[in-house]
Amino acid sequence: MDLDALNAAFALPDVLHFVEGPGGLTLIEIDNGLARATLTTHGAQVLSYRPAGARDELLFVGERAYFAPDQEIKGGVPICWPWFGRDPDDPARVIHGFARLRTWSVLACETRPDGAIWVRFGLADDETTRALWPHYFNLWVEVTVGATLSVVLTTRNAGDEPFAITQGLHAYFQIGDPAQVSILGLNGCRYLDKAADAPPDAVGVQSGALGLDAEVNRIYESVPPQLVIEDTALERRIRIDSTHSRTCVVWNPWIAGAQALPDLDDADYQRFVCVETVNAASEIITIQPQGEARIGADYRIEPL
Ligand SMILES: O=P(O)(O)OC[C@H]1O[C@@H](O)[C@H](O)[C@@H](O)[C@@H]1O
């Protein structure tokens, strides 16, 4: 659908409209009194969210992020599906799956009784996806923009064979200063250490809060449903309430990692941390024919 058709079908006067963004991508701009947010149909990705009364934006999108139909956008809340990380069947394939590279359909934009805006995106298999991953599926992303931001990804197996997925909500959170960030809730959780200098198959157990003073790339297991990013520089706490996920990836590439990534500025490691609600590593989700699986996260900003 072009912009005029999208606006005719789904715009909500004074609250939600569709505009053309960088690289010709379609953006959905929302301002409903409870919050301001920007979403895109490219990957069904949330790009920005700031609740009323909050001084700072929740999410990070890099100045050098790609905005192009065939590339992933580094920032916001990318949807990683049907594999998280490297495809176990072919490590040469795109990291984090193809869902974030596709243009999703807009299925609904509605105002909820509490004033929050609910947007539903859909994606289904086609010849291109089946060439990459030979399964029949329906996917939905539901984004609710209100006093909190919620993202729920639902997978339906539309075929007649079971299939297995890993997946994630790869949220990039804006931070004020890595030295003033603590991630709470992971104490006692075992993690797989994927940092560049870690030996292969390295594991550890988190002790206390997780600070940021070097590259962090960890897959935490048996994680509780609520995690907190405390950020004294931005004088705020971000609460992450996850559903249907016991695995969390925490990633900050640090200096060398940022320098190595063309879509990050060298100093961007000081500007974000990813705390990702995922099903990955040993948490593999098998979905029976006509069955469904969900993963979701609710993000809330609180003043410190
Ligand atoms: O694909 P993106 O958005 O650049 O993210 C890549 C990063 O995603 C993280 O989830 C992984 O733990 C990192 O290993 C990886 O480098």
Beta-carbon contacts of residue 90 (< 8 Å; ≥ 6 apart): none
Distance of CA 276 from the midpoint of ligand 1 (Å): 10
Is pLDDT above 90 for 267?
Answer: yes
User: Which band of pLDDT confidence, cut at 50, 70 and 90, is reported for residue 89?
Assistant: confident
The angle formed by the CA atoms of residues 196, 201 and 207, to the nearest 5 degrees, is 80
Ligand 1, residue 263: give the atom nearest the CA: 4
163-190 per-position pLDDT tens digit: 999 999 999 999 999 999 999 999 999 9
pLDDT of res. 104:
98
If DSSP states are collapsed to H, E and C, what string results for 268-302?
HHHCEEEEEEEECCCCCEEECCCCEEEEEEEEEEE
Average per-residue pLDDT for the chain = 97
pLDDT of res. 88:
79
184 close to 209: Cβ distance less than 8 angstroms? yes
Ligand 1, residue 278: give the atom nearest the CA: 10
Catalytic site includes residue 221: no
What's the mean pLDDT in 142-148?
Answer: 98
255 close to 268: Cβ distance less than 8 angstroms? no
Ligand 1 binding pocket includes 93 (Cβ within 6 Å): no
Q: Residue 278 burial (CB < 10 Å; 0-12/13-18/19+)?
A: buried
pLDDT of res. 91:
86
User: Domain residue spans in the chain?
Assistant: 3-173+248-275+282-303
Residue nearest to atom 4 of ligand 1 (CA): 74
Rounded to whole angstroms, how far apart are CA atoms 228 and 209? Answer: 10
Q: Residue 304 burial (CB < 10 Å; 0-12/13-18/19+)?
A: exposed
Ligand 1 binding pocket includes 96 (Cβ within 6 Å): yes
Instruction: Name the pTM for this structure.
Output: 0.98
User: Which band of pLDDT confidence, cut at 50, 70 and 90, is reported for residue 152?
Assistant: very high
Residue nearest to atom 2 of ligand 1 (CA): 74
215 close to 196: Cβ distance less than 8 angstroms? yes
93-104 per-position pLDDT tens digit: 899 999 999 999
Beta-carbon contacts of residue 132 (< 8 Å; ≥ 6 apart): 93, 98
Ligand 1 pocket: which of 251, 252, 259, 277 to mutate (most atoms <8 Å of CB)? 251
Task: Say which of 72, 142, 276, 283 is annotated catalytic.
Answer: 276
Domain 3-173+248-275+282-303, CATH: 2.70.98.10
Residue nearest to atom 3 of ligand 1 (CA): 74
Catalytic site includes residue 135: no
Rounded to whole angstroms, how far apart are CA atoms 81 and 122? Answer: 13
Report the chain's C-alpha Rg in angstroms.
19
204-248 per-position pLDDT tens digit: 999 999 999 999 999 999 999 999 999 999 999 999 999 999 999
Is pLDDT above 90 for 90?
Answer: no
pLDDT of res. 1:
77
Distance of CA 95 from the midpoint of ligand 1 (Å): 8
pLDDT of res. 282:
95
Distance of CA 74 from the midpoint of ligand 1 (Å): 9
ipTM attached to this prediction:
0.97
**Range in 71-80, 85-94, 181-190, 249-258 with the lowest mean pLDDT:** 85-94
Ligand 1, residue 218: give the atom nearest the CA: 12
14-46 per-position pLDDT tens digit: 999 999 999 999 999 999 999 999 999 999 999
